[in-house]
Amino acid sequence: MLNLPNWITLSRLLSVPLILYLLQEATSENRWLSLGVFLLAALTDWVDGYLARRLNQVTELGKFLDPLVDKVLVLSTLLALIEIDLVPAWGVCLILVRELAIAGWRINPNLTGESKVIGANLWGKLKTVTQIIAISLLLLPLAFPWSTLAIVVFWFSVGLTLISGLIYILPTTKIVESPVQKN
């Protein structure tokens, strides 16, 4: 069943086609408009989380949908930024690979065979915030020094994305030892 926070999460998806449409012709005006739509969508990420906690409506579905919708918003916009030659494809590919790997990693099967979704940790949230800042700066139709700052923040977000991915994986990776038989 969908509650209010989950509906807000799903509504964020509506911004993606609009952003992609606006960036097809990346005029200065369209970039400003796409920035506004992107920031409004990013704000709903905070709103749905706040309401879920405040209304005591945190659900497994919400813990799964929220980061998935964030990934769709961020990656779709980054792909559009590749097309208009603002970011290199290989940098976005690093983000994409991490996001796909961790999305699967976060569904943690327990011993009963049921799955439990692991919520985002502080590093994952910082990663999302830096990605939002980087994309916002990249969408700004401003020249130097803003364009340089935008690409620096983009690469910082790529680094933080990779670091946060490692933090998800490393604490749960265990070396399986074979039992030693005692005689």
What pLDDT is attached to residue 106? 62
What pLDDT is attached to residue 182? 47
What pLDDT is attached to residue 123? 84
Taking alpha carbons only, the member of 101, 164, 158 closest to residue 134 is 158
* HSE toward the beta carbon, residue 32, CA cutoff 13 A: 4
Are β-strands 115-117 and 107-109 bridged in parallel, bridged antiparallel, or unpaired? antiparallel
User: Which burial class, exposed, middle or buried, applies to 121 when counting CB atoms under 10 A from its CB (0-12, 13-18, 19+)?
Assistant: middle
Q: How far apart are CA 20 and CA 15, in angstroms?
A: 9
In this prediction, the residues of the chain whose per-residue pLDDT falls under 70 are 105-120, 171-183
C-beta of residue 169 within 8 angstroms of C-beta of residue 105? yes
Domains parsed from the chain with CATH numbers: 4-168 (1.20.120.1760)
What pLDDT is attached to residue 175? 46
